[in-house]
Amino acid sequence: MTYGTTGPAAPAFLAGRGIADITGEAAECGMLGYGKAAQQSAGIHTRQRARAFAFVDRAAGHRVLLVVCELPLMADSVVREVLPRLPEGYDASNVMLTATHTHCGPGGYFHHELYNSNTGGFRERTFAAITDGITEAAHAAIADLAPTVLRLAHGELTGASVNRSHRAFARNPAADRAYFPAAVDPQTTLLTLERDGQLVGAVNWFATHNTSMTNRNRLISADNKGYAAYHWERLVAGADYLADGTPELVTAFAQTNAGDMSPNLGLSPGSGPTGDQFENTRVIGTRQYEAAAALHGTEMSGGIDTRTTYVHLSAVEVRPEYTGDGRTHRTSSPVGGAAAFAGAWVDGPGFKGFRPGANPLWDALSRRLLYPLAPGLRDAQHPKALALPAGPVNRVRPMVQERAPVQLLRIGPLFLIGIPGEVTIVAGLRLRRTAAAILGAPLENVLVAGYSNGYIHYVTTPEEYDAQEYEGGSTLFGRWELPALCQTMAALATALRDGVPVDRGVPEPPVPVRRRHRHQTSDAPHPGRAFGDVLSFALIGRRATASFVAAHPGNDLRRNGTYLSVEHRKADGWKRIADDGDWSTTFRWSRSGGSTSIATVTWTAPPATPPGRYRLAYHGDTAKGPFTGVSEPFAID
C-alpha cells in the first residue's frame, strides 16, 4: 500500500483541540536547558502552555493524541504520570507528548537526576503544574472531538535558522549535504483543522532551536515558538486565555530535527537578527507564524495508524545494512563526551575547561587508558573523549534514560517519527528516508518529531559524530546510535505498512525520586507596610512600572491564572486587558532582605492601545490567602 497526498476520498476525521497552562515555579527554581546554576527563575515574561490535538479516523476508530508542550524537554517521568490519567483508548502507542525545547522554563520535573542538578532536587510543584496542565489539555481536546476537515501544506522558511555546527555537517556525504544546500532544513509543514470553513486549529513543524532567549535571562519564557503560537492565537485571533477555556483557535509550533539548527543568526548567543534577545524572540517567532499562516493545504484523506516500541539503546545489535561499513556493530551504555560539557557555543557556552572538538586531557585519558581496556566501548564510542560514564552511574543513581520510546504515527498522508532526542537535520533526513522508502510516502510528508516521549540527548550521523562537536559529544550511545534508530524505524514502518503489530519492547523501569526540593518560604511585609502596598510607580513614555510589597510566588503558582493584570477604565468599571502571559508585560520577583520581597510589574502599551485611564495590579498569596495591590491610575494618550 502506498500513502500519498492525493487519492480517493478519505473517511471523515474527528478532531479536537485543548490548551492549558503548564507554568511551573516562577521564583528560585533552576531553569532547564542551559544547565547554568545561576539561571534561577525570577518572574514571568510569557507563560508556558500545552496544546493538545486529538484525531480519530471515524471509519476504523483509530485515534492519535498529540500534545505540544512549551517545555525545555519531555521527561519520562511526565509521560508516566500523564498516560494513566487519560481516557481509555489512549496509551503509549498512540499518544505523543512533545516539547518545544525552550531553555527558559523551570526544571526539576525529571526523575533522572542529571536534569535536576541546578534545582535543588525534584520540584513537586513544577511537576504537578506540568502534568496537571498536560492532562487538562488532553481531556479538553478529546472532549472537543467533532467532524473536522484536515489539511496538509508545506512551504519553505529561511531567515529563522542557521547551522551551528558546520564542521560536523561538512563531514556528511555530498548527497546528504546537497539536500540542504544552505546547511539548514527550510521545510515548514502545517496541519490545519477546519470546521464549517473556519480555521479552528493548526500545528506547525519547523526546525530551529528554541533558544532566542539566552542563559542570562531569568524570566520564564516560551521563547520563539511560544511567541509564534501566542501571536496567532492572541494577537491575531483575539484569544483570552484566562476567560475563553479553549479559544476559537488553538495553534502549536512543534519541533522537528532541530539538533544543529539555531535561531541565533549571528552565530553567538542573543545575536541575530538583532542584538536584543527579547526582540529576537519576537522576530524569529513572527517569521515562523507568517510562514505557517501563508500556507493553505490539500484536504487530507486516509486513515490513522500507529506503531511504538521501546529500544534498549545501550545494547542494540545493528545490522550491516544500517551501519554503512558492511559490518555488524553494537551500541554501548551511555557516555557523555567532553565536548558535551562545552555546550553549543552559538546558543550558550557550557562549562569552563571544555571545548567542542579536541579536549587534549580527556582525549588522552580515553585513548590511552579506557579504550584499550574495553574494545567494545571503543568500537561504539571512539573518538569521543569519555567524561561522564552515565551507564555505570545509572546502576547506582539513575541519571539518564536508556530505553528509548520510538514512535511512528500516521495521520492521513502525514507521518511523524517520534524520537526522544535532538536530531540533526541529516540524521533526520536518514530517518525520514528510511520510513518514506518503506511506506511509499513523499519525503516531505515524513517528519521527525524530536523531543518526544522522553529524552536521550542528541542523535547525530556517524560522520558528524566523528567531529565530536557539542552534538556528537552529546550522542550518548555512540556512533551507531542513529543506525540503531534507523533499523528500529524500518521495523515500525514495515509493520505499519503491512498492518501487523510490533514487539513493544520493555519501557524504562520506574525511577524513584531520591532527592526532593523542600519548598520553604517565610513571608513578611516590609516594616510599616502591608502585602500589596505600592512601593514605587513610574510612567516613562508608554511604559508603566509598579513595585509592590510581595509574597513568594511559590505559595501559589497561579496556573491558569496570573500574578498581574493591566486594567483599563471603562464606563462599567475596570476591565483586564493584559496579564502575565502577554508579550507586553513582565512580572519580576526578588528578595529584598530576609523574608521580605518585591514584585515588579511592567507594561509597555502596544501601539494599538486606545487612549484612556489604566492601572497595574499585582496578585499574590500568603499562607493566609490571596491579596491584590493596585497602582494609581495613569493616562495613555
Pairing of strands 187-195, 146-156: antiparallel
Residue 368 burial (C-beta neighbours within 10 Å; 0-12, 13-18, 19+): exposed
Mean pLDDT, the chain cut into blocks of 10 residues (637 residues total): 40 89 98 95 98 96 98 98 98 98 98 93 97 98 97 98 98 98 98 96 98 98 98 98 93 98 97 96 98 96 95 98 96 97 93 93 95 96 96 94 98 98 99 98 98 98 98 98 98 98 94 82 92 98 98 97 98 97 98 95 97 98 96 97
Give pLDDT, residue 296: 93
> What is the C-alpha to C-alpha distance for residues 354 and 369, in angstroms, rounded to an integer?
20
589 φ, ψ (degrees, to nearest 5): -130, 140
Using DSSP, state whether 126 is helix, strand or coil: helix
Residue 41 in contact with residue 112, Cβ under 8 Å? Answer: no
Q: Where are the alpha helices (DSSP H) in 21-173?
A: 76-82, 124-143, 166-169
Minimal CA–CA distance to 444: which of 205, 209, 176, 161?
A: 205
Residue 138 in contact with residue 67, Cβ under 8 Å? Answer: yes
Give pLDDT, residue 521: 72
Q: Which residue is catalytic, options 262, 333, 452, 565? A: 262
> What is the C-alpha to C-alpha distance for residues 236 and 234, in angstroms, rounded to an integer?
6
Question: Is there a cis peptide before residue 349, judged by omega within 30 degrees of 0?
Answer: no
The yes-or-no answer on residue 262 being catalytic is yes
Kind plus residue range of the DSSP H or E element containing 177 = helix 174-179
Task: Please name each of the domains of the chain with its CATH number.
Answer: 13-309+401-498 (no CATH), 534-636 (2.60.40.2300)
Using DSSP, state whether 359 is helix, strand or coil: coil
Give pLDDT, residue 148: 96
Give pLDDT, residue 502: 97
Residue 530 in contact with residue 550, Cβ under 8 Å? Answer: no
Minimal CA–CA distance to 72: which of 189, 184, 226, 193?
A: 226
> What is the C-alpha to C-alpha distance for residues 225 and 222, in angstroms, rounded to an integer?
7
Give pLDDT, residue 209: 98
Residue 565 in contact with residue 242, Cβ under 8 Å? Answer: no
> What is the C-alpha to C-alpha distance for residues 36 and 224, in angstroms, rounded to an integer?
20
Kind plus residue range of the DSSP H or E element containing 565 = strand 564-570
> What is the C-alpha to C-alpha distance for residues 265 and 282, in angstroms, rounded to an integer?
14
Distance of CA 43 to the CA centre of its chain: 20
Kind plus residue range of the DSSP H or E element containing 587 = strand 585-593
The three three-digit cell numbers of residue 68, written as one number: 505540544
